[in-house]
Amino acid sequence: MGFERLRFFNFRNLRDAELELGAPQVHLVGGNGQGKTNLIEAVHLLCLGSSFREKREAAFLRNPDEQMGLHGRYRSAEAGEMAFSLISSQGKRKEIRMNEKPILDRRELLAAVLCVSFVQQDMGFICGPPEERRKFFDQTLSFYDFSFLDSLRGYRQVLSARNFCLKSRQSELLDPYDEQLASFGLELQRSRQTLVRAFNEVFCPLFQEITGEDPVEIRYVPSWQHLRANEEVVAHLGASRGRDLALGATASGPHRDAFSFVLGGRDYSHFGSTGQLRLCALALRIAQARFLTLQSGRRPVLLLDDVLLELDSGRKKAFVARFPAYEQAFFTFLPEEAHASYATSDTLVLNVLGGEFHR
Q: Tell me the backbone φ, ψ of residue 232, rounded to 5 degrees.
A: -70, -40
pLDDT of residue 186: 98
pLDDT of residue 110: 94
Number of other CB atoms surrounding residue 258 within 10 Å: 13
Specify whether domain 129-297 bears CATH 1.20.1050.90.
yes
Q: Which residues of 14-47 are buried (b: 16+ CB within 10 A; e: fewer)?
A: beeeebebbbbbbbbbbeeebbbbbbbbbbbbbb
Q: For the chain, which residues make up each domain, given as ranges?
A: 1-114+300-359, 129-297
CATH classification number, 1-114+300-359, choose in 3.40.50.300, 3.20.20.70, 3.30.365.10, 3.30.950.10: 3.40.50.300
State the pTM of this model: 0.94
Order of strands, edge to edge, in the sheet holding 356-358? 115-118, 301-304, 328-333, 25-29, 347-353, 356-358
The reply to whether 1-114+300-359 and 129-297 are identical in fold is no
pLDDT of residue 211: 84
115/76 Cα distance (integer angstroms): 13
SS3 label, residue 348: strand
Q: What is the pLDDT of residues 258-314, one digit of tens each?
A: 999 999 999 999 999 998 999 999 999 999 999 999 999 999 999 999 888 878 777
Q: Is the pLDDT of residue 207 over 80?
A: yes
Q: Tell me the backbone φ, ψ of residue 229, rounded to 5 degrees.
A: -110, 155
Can you name the residues that pair with 25 across neighbouring β-strands?
329, 347
Q: Yes or no: say if 82 and 96 are a contact pair by the CB < 8 Å rule.
A: no
